[in-house]
A = this chain, B = another copy of it.
Amino acid sequence: MDSKIGAEERIMQAAIAVFCLRGYDGARMQEIADSADISKASLHYYFRSKENLFRKTVRELFSSIIRNIRSRISEDDSIEEVIGKLVNGYVDMFTAHRRQAFYFLTELMKHEEVLSEIMAGLDTSAFTGGILERFRKEREAGTIIDIEPVDLLINIIGMSVFPIMAEPMLKRALNLSEAEFSNLLAKRKPIVINFVLAAVLRDKP
């Protein structure tokens, strides 16, 4: 651990790593302390309890992911570009933060109150609202098929994210080696984009 940065931040980084790796129950305060090059007592000095540290950790992780997802989609983009950027954004983000994202879906299912608490303090519409609105307009204009915006968004995210999250299962179910599977993932972006476009566009080339 980089001892130049402050202890508090070092602990946060260590805690995120350990929580993501072991889960809440599996995480040991001692391991977090060691990993932050600090004594367990100091750990409790900064963050009173494990639960408190957990909440702070989750909040930090979440907002960093949200910051990341806030897509660079502009009003001027064509619908093809919008869909392309969405797929690229979700795939990149979930690839980069795989363990952390996974951690969310799992640990926060057990501690739903924590999730609620955090989501409550966030402007959720900021990161879906714009896109849903755009889909609604395209649908009204007739450039895309008659599909509920929410369903379209879920389809896109599902196809983008699912294989990344389900990797350990899929790899074995499909009998693919590590290399074969990452090759498969690497090739998927354009495939998903074309799949979506083929499904939703009214006027095909």
Which A residues contact B (CB, under 8 angstroms)? 21-26, 102, 104-106, 108-110, 112, 115-116, 119, 124-125, 127-128, 145, 147-148, 150-151, 154-155, 157-163, 165-166, 168-170, 172-175, 184, 188, 191-192, 195-196, 198-200
Contacts and interface: CB of A to CB of B under 8 A. Distances in A.
Contacts of A155: 159, 192, 195
A110 B196 contact: no
B145 A198 contact: yes
Given A161-B158, A196-B199, A172 B124 contact: yes
| Secondary structure of the A contact surface, majority rule | helix
A87 B106 CA distance: 24
A34 B6 CA distance: 47
5 contacts: A22-B25, A147-B195, A151-B184, A151-B191, A157-B162
A148 B127 CA distance: 32
Contacts of A110: 21-23, 26
A175 B125 contact: yes
B175 A124 contact: yes
A155 B192 CA distance: 8
Contacts of A166: 105
Q: Which of A109, A116, A150 has the most CB of B within 10 A?
A: A109
A188 B154 CA distance: 10
Contact of A159 (B108, B154, B170, B191): B154
A154 B192 CA distance: 10
A71 to B, nearest CB: 14
